[in-house]
Structure 1
Amino acid sequence: MQSPASPASLPATELAREVLEIEADAVRALIARLDERFDRAVQMLLDCKGRVVVSGIGKSGHIGNKIAATFASTGTPAFFVHPAEAMHGDLGMVTGDDVFIAISYSGSAAELVTIMPVLKRAGCKLIALTGRDESDLARLADVHLNVAVEREACPLDLAPTASTTATLALGDALAVAALTKRGFRKEDFARSHPGGALGRRLLTHVHNVMRQGDAVPRVDHKATVKDALFEITKKGMGATAVVDGERLVGVFTDGDLRRLIERGGDIRDTPLADVMSRTPTTIGPDALAAEAADLIDRTRRNVIMVLRDGHLVGILHTNDLMAAKVI
C-alpha cells in the first residue's frame, strides 16, 4: 500500500488552495454566528462621542492596526494603541467617551486583561474580539464578538492564520456597517484620501486645472487661418478658441488645419468663420475634472472649452488632466 505523500512534497499551488479554503471557511463561519451582539457593537460605534481605540498584541496587534485604519478612513475617528504602552502611560489617550476594541484570539492577553477594568471604571465602552466566549476579555467586555475558527491554516495549527483572517474580516464588517448606517459617501471618503486617485477624481474641479487668462488661445471671429495658426503655435495647445468678444462661437484645431492643407491652394487668408467648427466641446468650470476626462474620452477630442454663462473662461487639454493625475 502506497503511503500518503508528505505535505512538503505537494505542489505549492495545492498547498495554497488548502490554505485559502481553510481561511475562506473561517470567514464563512462568521456569517452564521452573527447575532444581536454585532448590532449592539455597531450601535456603540455610532453612539461614540469620542474615538474608537483598537488594541491588541502580537499578530492581533497587526490586525488591530489595520482595523483602526479602516475605521479612520471610513468616517469613524479611530487609532491604535499598543496594550503594553497603554500600561505605561498611553492609557491617558483613552477617555470615557471612547469605544475600546480589544483583540486577542485567546482572550487572555495579560496586557489587555490588566487595562480593561481601568477603562471600564472610566466609563469607556468595551468590545472584545476573541475566540472564546468564556475568556477573560469576553467577560470584561460590554459586547463580545466570537471569531473562533475550526483550525488554523498553518499545518502545525500554531501560527495565527485563519484566526487573524477571520478577525480582520469581522473588523471590516464592523467598519462597513458603521459607515453605511452613518450615510458615508464617496465624497466623504475622498476628503480623507486627498492624495489618492479617488480623492483627485472627486475633489478636483475643472477650474483647478484649466488654463486661463493669457494662457488661453483665442482669436476673433473675423480672423483668418493665418491668425489662428500663429495663435495655435504661440500657445501650444493644438487648437484655438474663436470668440466674438467673450462669447465662444467656434474652435479651430490643428486637425482642421491639416484637412485644409490637403485640399490645396493658399489657405492663409481664408476667413476662419468659413472653416472653424461651430460645435466645440464645452464644460463648466465647476464641473469635476473627472467629468472632463470622461467627456474627452467620449468625444475623442484633446481640448475642451470652459464656459461660464456662454463666456469663455478657460481651456482644458488632455495633458492638463494627466498632469493633475485625474487620468
Structure 2
Amino acid sequence: MQKAFDDSAITRAMQLARETLTIEADAIAALNARLDTDHSVARAVQLLLGCSGRVVISGIGKSGHIARKIAATLASTGTPAMFVHPAEAAHGDLGMITENDAFIAISYSGEAAELLSIVGIIKRMGAPLISMTGNPNSGLGKLADVHLDISVAKEACPLNLAPTASTTVTLALGDAIAVALLDARGFKEEDFARSHPGGALGRRLLTHVRDVMRSGDAVPKVGLDARLQDALMEITQKGMGMTAIVDGDGRPVGVFTDGDLRRMLERTQDFTKVMIRDVMHANPRRVHPDQLAVDAVAIMEEFRINQMLVTDADDKLVGALHIHDLTRAKVI
C-alpha cells in the first residue's frame, strides 16, 4: 500500500532535494579547486589531442552510464569516441581497440574487476590509459598513464552509498575535458551542425535557400507590361501573397504584395487600367540560392517582410521564399 505523502513528507522531500543539490555543487566546487594544484587534466587533454585513433571509454554500473554520456559528448564535439562495456570487451570486444586509441577507465573505487581484467591487455597493446577514480592508489589509479581524481567528501545519498555526488563530478569532469578538446581543435558551430544534422542548430547551419525556396512554375512573376489585374491573378494562383515583376531578361525590378493591394483599395476602386509598373515596389529584397536560409530569415526580420525573391549570380529570378517555407523547414 502506498504511503500517504503528507505535509511533513513533502517538507522532508524538499529538504533532501536541497541537500542533494548542495552536496553535489560542493563536490564540483572542490574538484574545481583541485585543478589549481593538480595538472592531470591538462596532461589528459594533451594525451587525447595526440591520439590518432579514437577515445574508448569504459565503466561498469553507474560509471558505465556516465562513460556512455562522456563518449557521446566527445564524439559530438570533434573527438571521435565510443563506449565499450568492460564485460563485453573481455569476451571479444577488445578487438575494437587498437594501439592508436586512448582508453579511459571509470571506476570510483578503482578496483572494478571487469576493468582490471582488460586494462593490462590494453596497456600491453600500447594504448595510453587514463583512469578516473576516487582513489589514486587503487589498481586502476596505479596502472594509468594519467589519473584523474574524482573523489568526493560524501555522496548525496543519505546512506552515503548510492553513487550521486561522485557520478556528478565524473560527468562534470568529462564535460570539462570535452570542452577543452573542442577549443583546442578549433571546433566551430558549423562542425557541431554536421554532427547534429537532425537538430535545430544543424537545420539552421546546414539549410540553404536553395533547399527551401519555391522554383519553376511555383514562382509568381509577371512582366513589366502586365496589368494590375494580371498580377492579382498571379498572386492568387501561386499562393505566396506577392508576385515579382521581371524585365525582359528575367531580372526582378519590382514586387507587389497583397498588403500593397489592401492599401490600394483605400484609394482606388477601378483596377482595369492600372499597370503593375506604376504601383510596384522597385528594387525588391533578394537572396542567393547558396546563402544560408537563416540569412533570409535575418533580412525578413530586419525589414519586416514575409516574402523574398531569390536570384542567381546574373541577378535573374530563380526562386521565391515565404516565411512559411522557412517555418516548415524548421529553420525558425
| TM-score bucket of the superposed structures, by smaller chain | over 0.9
Report what 1:4 is aligned to: none
Q: Deviations over 1:45-93 (max 9, x none)?
A: 1111110000000000000000000010001111101001111111111
Give the counterpart letter for 1:213 in structure 2: G
Unaligned runs of 5+ in 1: 1-6
Alignment TM-score, normalising by the size of structure 2: 0.94
Is residue 2:265 matched to residue 1:261? yes
Match of 2:296 among 289, 292, 303: 292
Is residue 2:13 matched to residue 1:12? yes
Is residue 2:204 matched to residue 1:201? yes
* 1:280–1:134 CA distance, 2 compared to 1 (3 A): same
Give the counterpart letter for 1:264 in structure 2: T
> Once the two structures are aligned, what percentage of the paired residues are identical?
64
For the 8 Å contact 1:260–1:267, the answer to whether it is kept is no
Instruction: Give, in angstroms, the shift of residue 323 of structure 1.
Output: 1.5
For the 8 Å contact 1:261–1:267, the answer to whether it is kept is no
Q: What is the RMSD computed on CA atoms of the aligned residues?
A: 1.3
Report what 1:29 is aligned to: 30
Report what 1:320 is aligned to: 325
Report what 2:178 is aligned to: 175
Match of 2:133 among 120, 130, 133: 130
Q: Deviations over 1:170-210 (max 9, x none)?
A: 00011110110010111001001111110000011111111
265-274 or 102-111: which moved more? 265-274
Give the counterpart letter for 1:301 in structure 2: I
Instruction: Give, in angstroms, the shift of residue 13 of structure 1.
Output: 2.6
Q: Deviations over 1:195-251 (max 9, x none)?
A: 111000001111111111211100001111101011111111110000102111100
Q: Secondary structure at the match of 2:243?
A: strand
Unaligned runs of 5+ in 2: 1-7
* 1:237–1:150 CA distance, 2 compared to 1 (3 A): same
Give the counterpart letter for 2:47 in structure 1: M
Report what 1:51 is aligned to: 54
- Write out aligned runs for 1:305-316 (5 A): 305-308=309-312, 309-316=314-321
Separation in structure 1 between the aligned mates of residue 285 and residue 258 of structure 2, nearest angstrom? 15
Separation in structure 2 between the aligned mates of residue 133 and residue 54 of structure 1, nearest angstrom? 18
Is residue 2:127 matched to residue 1:116? no
Q: Secondary structure at the match of 2:82?
A: strand
Report what 1:217 is aligned to: 220
Q: Secondary structure at the match of 2:197?
A: coil
Instruction: Give, in angstroms, the shift of residue 293 of structure 1.
Output: 1.4
Q: Secondary structure at the match of 2:282?
A: coil
* 1:149–1:278 CA distance, 2 compared to 1 (3 A): same
Residues matched between the structures, number: 321
260-269 or 158-167: which moved more? 260-269
Q: Secondary structure at the match of 1:100?
A: strand
Separation in structure 1 between the aligned mates of residue 72 and residue 10 of structure 2, nearest angstrom? 39
Separation in structure 2 between the aligned mates of residue 11 and residue 267 of structure 1, nearest angstrom? 76
Separation in structure 1 between the aligned mates of residue 20 and residue 39 of structure 2, nearest angstrom? 31
Alignment TM-score, normalising by the size of structure 1: 0.95
Match of 1:277 among 278, 281, 284: 281
* 1:60–1:305 CA distance, 2 compared to 1 (3 A): same
Separation in structure 2 between the aligned mates of residue 268 and residue 287 of structure 1, nearest angstrom? 39
Is residue 2:200 matched to residue 1:186? no
Report what 2:5 is aligned to: none
Match of 1:251 among 250, 255, 259: 255
Q: Deviations over 1:19-41 (max 9, x none)?
A: 11110111111112123211111
Separation in structure 1 between the aligned mates of residue 13 and residue 265 of structure 2, nearest angstrom? 64
Give the counterpart letter for 1:241 in structure 2: A
